[in-house]
Amino acid sequence: MTISSSLNAGVAGLNVNASRLATIADNIANSGTYGYKRSVADFHSMVISNGSGTYSAGGVRVTTQKLIDQPGALVTTDNSTDLAVRGRGFLPVTTGAAVDSGDGEFPLFMTTTGSFRTDSEGYLRTSTGVTLLGWPANADGTIPSFPRDTGAGLQPVRVNVNQFTSEPTTRISLGVNLPGTDTNPDADGTARTLSVEYFDNLGTSQSINVTFTPTVPAAPPASNTWTMTMTDSASGGSMVGEYTVVFDDSRAAGGTIATVTQAPGAPGGAYDPVSGVLTVNVDSGPIDINIGDAGTGAGLTQLSDNFAPTAISKDGSPVGNLISVEVDANGLVSANFDVGITRTVYQIPLIDLPNPNGLMASDNQLYSTSSASGSFFLWDAADGPTGDIVGFALEESSTDVAAELTQLIQTQRAYSSNAKIITTVDEMLQETTNMKR
């Protein structure tokens, strides 16, 4: 019995070292694989009840696991959608086959890194078809509320590289100096005109034409009064606003707006002296026009004898082409256009679980949940226990080749030693057999 147990222990030793050799071979083979998590083989002794004065070898057994929570170093790349998780958490992904099936079902997998690029349909995929998942944003760039304990709200991230966009103008700041001499009794009453561009709801360039007509008094003093009329090119030049603007000529506030009065029955909204804003309705909708607070010298002024637009600005933009896609540390996917617009189109959450090492490993550095891993939760990147997302980066393999080669030598020696036990037991059994002769 004792000799037989020695033989069994030797065989077990060969088996477990063969398993360790397999993990070492896998680790070394994947030392250049981005996102690979090294495997380890742990040995555990087995004990057989022994009688008095005897000892039976119980042998050894092996368990293997991937150290999924062990991160690799990050390396920089030149692709904005090369993504890596810095810290705790996993990127949500699905398979290319699930996306191509068109049934709307996307099995949830996890990975810590991936070189994602747009395919022919605009999906962000790796070369093996792994497709990035995220929450789609609203048209205004906000992210709706999605459940965090399920992946039901996640959709394949799709960016149309031929996408166009525009933003309508909703606010204009009007900074213009009107010549004070034009409101003197000897002035000729010539109107001053100004065209201000805006963009309609379709990104087309339109204009609000502003006419400043001075009030010329018959006798001194100067009136310091102007009639400001606005027309809209998109509606055939129809009037959208008419206001009487009176400027202060005191020593303390000379040249600043004193009062702005809307003409009776004229279109447009009333002037707010606190915000300096009045609202006109052009063909594509309302636009707030800031002409300056009363008494501040911002916006419209009346100084000297020069007519000069000093500061005219607006929001909105014409039609622009998509030029790049980036993912920030919080997982927000932004589409950048050549007209300066940046729009949030998706948010990539990070998945966290109680026991990452309990995940089930699949091909292409993908992982899925199991009973050992626990249930998952979707966090905003860089929030809660999760790390952040790094663009222009990939995670290297967690394999340390030098350490693996050291273990390879140890495993080889251990395997040879166990083989020696088997040959020794064989020789002892042969001696026992020879005793019969």
Do residues 63 and 42 touch, judged by C-beta distance below 8 A?
yes
pLDDT of residue 46: 87
Pairing relationship of beta strands 91-94 and 360-362 according to DSSP bridges: unpaired
Considering the domain architecture, whether residues 49 and 11 belong to the same structural domain is answered as yes
Considering the domain architecture, whether residues 9 and 54 belong to the same structural domain is answered as yes
Considering the domain architecture, whether residues 87 and 63 belong to the same structural domain is answered as no
Give the predicted TM-score (pTM) of the model: 0.75
Considering the domain architecture, whether residues 307 and 230 belong to the same structural domain is answered as yes
Considering the domain architecture, whether residues 10 and 124 belong to the same structural domain is answered as no
Considering the domain architecture, whether residues 39 and 96 belong to the same structural domain is answered as no
Segments forming the whole domain that contains residue 155 = 74-165+320-395
pLDDT of residue 258: 96
260, 295, 315 - which closes a domain = 315
289, 315, 341 - which closes a domain = 315
Query: What confidence tens digit (pLDDT) does each residue in 201-225 have?
Result: 998 999 999 999 999 999 999 999 9
pLDDT of residue 249: 94
Give the E-state strand segments of 315-432 in sequence order: 317-327, 332-337, 342-347, 350-352, 360-362, 366-368, 377-379, 388-391, 393-395
* Domain total in the chain: 3
Q: Which residues of the chain have pLDDT under 50?
A: none
d(CA 400, CA 392): 24
Query: What confidence tens digit (pLDDT) does each residue in 214-264 have?
Result: 999 999 999 999 999 999 999 999 999 999 999 999 999 999 999 999 999
Pairing relationship of beta strands 285-290 and 171-178 according to DSSP bridges: parallel
pLDDT of residue 425: 83
Find, among 117, 142, 144, 120, the residue nearest to 131 by Cα: 117
271, 288, 315 - which closes a domain = 315
Do residues 299 and 291 touch, judged by C-beta distance below 8 A?
yes
Considering the domain architecture, whether residues 386 and 406 belong to the same structural domain is answered as no
Considering the domain architecture, whether residues 161 and 78 belong to the same structural domain is answered as yes
Considering the domain architecture, whether residues 188 and 260 belong to the same structural domain is answered as yes
Pairing relationship of beta strands 332-337 and 317-327 according to DSSP bridges: antiparallel
d(CA 244, CA 259): 8
Kindly state the tokens that stand for 78. 């030149």
pLDDT of residue 437: 63
Considering the domain architecture, whether residues 176 and 210 belong to the same structural domain is answered as yes
Give the relative orientation of helices 401-434 and 2-29 as an angle to the nearest 10 degrees.
Answer: 160
How many C-beta atoms lie closer than 10 Å to residue 121's C-beta? 11
Percent of the chain that is helix, strand, coil (3-state, to 5)? 20, 40, 45
Considering the domain architecture, whether residues 202 and 309 belong to the same structural domain is answered as yes
Considering the domain architecture, whether residues 308 and 198 belong to the same structural domain is answered as yes
Q: What is the largest CA-CA distance in the chain?
A: 149
Find, among 55, 62, 21, 46, the residue nearest to 414 by Cα: 21
